[in-house]
């Protein structure tokens, strides 16, 4: 067993203990609710998955194992004279949770090297496919063609205990990551170049070797690929790629099946394909304006043209992020430092200035800011990687680092089969009817309470006319006490439950009312039932009941009726 594997193995028990403790002692603690619109809306925002490798903050962006991207660009090892973090180091961090030391990078590099030979039948499989087949389809099939080598599947068939299956999971995951540059580079060579395969250079790192095997030997390209592969490696567990890998893996399908499935999700235009689409869209915009660099007015016109045609602005918006993606910022800083005059970069910069305002006016996207895909293609383009369809393959190679790390951990922790419950629209309609009923119960309760109180107030006013002032006041305080205790709480309960829009104002009035009661009671206790006090109490009740009950409470009842469709 290698030292890397041993170290990983030692991390398991403490993690398992933490999880066991949580489930045993806090298993019933509620984490998230789900609404009907979330069910139809892609379960956005529902916290229902675990992923330790990274976590996405809507405002701050991704953190890999708790570290921000700028922190890691600083902290992760680099090649001598290089500025960009080595993806090998990031993989070590993602899978172990610890920053690598120099030896660790060598360990990981050796792990990759030992497994980097791609069998000939993979190239033959790719060669049997049409050259114009999408590079993402080729990638997915290339990975799947290796499935027969899976140690995971082999050991499962041989009866290895499930709890030990993390070891073959690690073996397969390392094997996929190690082979990916060779497979991706060959897809590039056969699709866009002469089809001649370039062997790996044992002296180069994982990212540089990918460039080398694509046929690009240039230190700057090595650097940009290190940055690209670092930035795209993980985006917590809920994105389609990561979730697909976990979902498929939860059936104990091996890493080849699971990762290939994840790549099919990444190929979608709303996800990883957006990086190609951004450049296609920019090319069309340039064509539309006769070439050159369109000015901001033209850009704005073209954005509206796209939106009015019912199309999306690729590279903008995000399901979780609500600010500019820090991956975008990292790429922008790289471009500003290295090629600020680049034409495409200038267009990308103008888009940054124009698109968010237009999307805000358009009023649909919850996040008008750019995501990583708005910038990544322009950087590759600058370094002469101009085959747009290939950009998502590079994204996929990078994403293997995160999703396969978590695949291994899922087996280490004995993750169970994912199997949420599905329901029908009819079921939800039934639920909605029940909700309406409970809503009408709310209205009924409040209405009844109002009626009872008004009755009681009437009898108190009758008592007042008999002239027993002190008793009258004591009765009134009893009444007010009950009112404060019960009725206000009841109203607030239903207002909160059904998101009554004037809740804050209503609550303010309640507080004011409670405060007046308190002050009057204090006055009664110190001075007795003076005439002034009787007048004040009467005034307050008149004010409250005529103003509050007859108008505000009526408005609230109307609201409940309108949202509940109860006539
Ligand atoms: N252009 C136009 N409309 C957009 C938009 C954009 N860039 N982003 C969101 N919208 C629209 C949505 O289509 C949706 O419209 P409908 O109500 O008519 O369905 C509305 O705004 C609300 O969407 P949202 O809640 O803001 O966004 P979602 O969580 O549903 O979707 C995403 C997020 C990324 C799919 C969406 O912003 C989008 O399609 N962006 C363009 C494609 C893109 O850049 N994808 C890459 C994302 C990063 C990655 O995974 O690689």
Contacts with 332 (C-beta within 8 Å, 6 or more apart), sequence order: 348, 349, 352, 375
Q: Would you say 294 and 355 are in contact if contact means Cβ atoms under 8 Å apart? A: no
CA distances to 204, 288, 393 from 281, rounded to whole Å, are 35, 10, 19
Catalytic residue flag (residue 373): yes
Predicted local confidence at residue 4, as pLDDT? 87
Atom of ligand 1 nearest to the CA of 41: 30
Report the SS3 class of residue 18. helix
What is the pLDDT, as a whole number, of residue 567? 31
**With a cut of 50, which residues of the chain have pLDDT below it?**
1, 564-567
pLDDT of residue 551: 64
pLDDT tens sequence across 227-282:
999 999 999 999 999 999 999 999 999 999 999 999 999 999 999 999 999 999 99
Q: What is the pTM of this model?
A: 0.81
Q: Pocket around ligand 1: residues whose beta carbon is below 6 Å from it?
A: 44, 239, 270-272, 274, 307, 312-319, 364-367, 371, 373
Nearest C-alpha to atom 19 of ligand 1 is from which residue?
Answer: 364
Closest to 102 (Cα-Cα) out of 113, 114, 88, 112: 88
Annotated active-site residue 499? The verdict is no
E-state strands within 411-498: none
Please give the domain boundaries of the chain with CATH numbers for all domains: 3-269+387-412 (1.10.580.10), 275-382 (1.10.230.10), 425-563 (1.20.120.50)
The ligand 1 atom nearest the CA atom of 374: 44
Nearest to 547 by CA among 515, 519, 520, 512: 512
Which residue in the list 318, 375, 506, 510 is annotated as catalytic?
Answer: 318
**What was the pLDDT predicted at 351?**
98
DSSP state of 417: P
Whether 273 and 444 have beta carbons less than 8 Å apart is answered as no
How far is residue 290's CA from residue 281's CA, in Å, rounded to a whole number?
Answer: 14
pLDDT of residue 426: 94
Torsion sign (Cα): 412, 416, 418, 420? negative
């Amino acid at each position: 067993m290698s030292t890397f594997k041993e170290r990983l193995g030692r991390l398991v028990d403490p993690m398992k203990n933490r999880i066991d403790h949580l489930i045993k002692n806090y298993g019933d603690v509620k984490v998230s609710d789900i609404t009907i619109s979330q069910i139809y809306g892609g379960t956005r925002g529902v916290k229902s998955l675990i992923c330790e490798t990274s976590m996405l903050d809507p405002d701050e962006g991704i953190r890999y194992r708790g570290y921000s991207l700028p922190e890691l660009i600083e902290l992760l090892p680099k090649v001598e004279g290089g500025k960009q973090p080595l993806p090998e180091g990031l993989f070590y961090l993602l899978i172990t949770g610890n920053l690598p030391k120099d030896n660790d990078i060598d360990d990981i590099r050796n792990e990759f090297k030992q497994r980097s030979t791609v069998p000939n039948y993979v190239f033959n499989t790719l060669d049997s496919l049409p050259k114009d087949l999408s590079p993402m389809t080729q990638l997915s099939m290339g990975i799947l063609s290796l499935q027969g080598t899976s140690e995971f599947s082999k050991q499962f068939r041989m009866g290895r205990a499930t709890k030990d299956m993390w070891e073959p999971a690690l073996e397969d995951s390392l094997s996929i990551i190690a082979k990916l540059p060779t497979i991706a580079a060959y897809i590039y060579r056969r699709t866009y170049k002469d089809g001649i395969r370039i062997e790996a250079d044992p002296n180069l790192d994982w990212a540089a070797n990918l460039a080398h095997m694509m046929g690009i030997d240039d230190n700057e390209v090595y650097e940009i690929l290190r940055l690209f592969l670092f930035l795209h490696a993980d985006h917590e567990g809920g994105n389609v790629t990561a979730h697909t890998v976990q979902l498929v893996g939860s059936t104990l399908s091996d890493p080849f099946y699971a990762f290939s499935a994840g790549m099919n999700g990444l190929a979608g235009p709303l996800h990883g394909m957006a990086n190609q689409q951004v450049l296609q869209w920019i090319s069309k915009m340039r064509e539309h304006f006769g070439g050159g660099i369109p000015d901001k007015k033209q850009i704005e016109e073209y954005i509206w043209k796209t939106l009015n045609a019912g199309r999306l602005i690729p590279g903008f918006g995000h399901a979780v992020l609500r600010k500019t993606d820090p991956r975008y910022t990292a790429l922008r800083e790289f471009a500003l430092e290295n090629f600020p005059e680049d034409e495409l970069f200038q267009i990308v910069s103008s888009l940054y200035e124009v698109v968010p305002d237009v999307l805000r006016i358009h009023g649909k996207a919850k996040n008008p800011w750019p995501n990583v895909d708005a910038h990544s293609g322009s950087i590759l383009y600058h370094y002469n990687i101009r085959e747009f369809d290939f950009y998502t393959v590079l994204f996929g190679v990078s994403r293997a680092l995160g999703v396969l790390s978590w695949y291994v951990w899922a087996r280490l922790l004995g993750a169970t089969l994912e199997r949420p419950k599905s329901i029908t629209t009819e079921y939800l309609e039934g639920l909605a009817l029940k909700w309406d009923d409970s809503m009408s119960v709310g209205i009924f309760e409040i209405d009844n309470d109002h009626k009872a109180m008004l009755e009681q107030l009437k009898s108190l006013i009758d008592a007042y006319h008999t002239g027993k002032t002190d008793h009258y006041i004591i009765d009134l305080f009893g009444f007010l006490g009950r009112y404060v205790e019960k009725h206000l709480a009841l109203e607030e309960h239903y207002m909160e439950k059904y998101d009554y829009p004037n809740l804050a104002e209503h609550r303010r009035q309640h507080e004011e009312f409670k405060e007046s009661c308190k002050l009057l009671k204090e006055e009664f206790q110190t001075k007795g039932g003076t005439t002034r006090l009787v007048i004040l109490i009467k005034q307050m009740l008149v004010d409250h009941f005529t103003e509050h009950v007859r108008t505000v409470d009526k408005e609230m009842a109307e609201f409940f009726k309108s949202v509940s469709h109860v006539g």
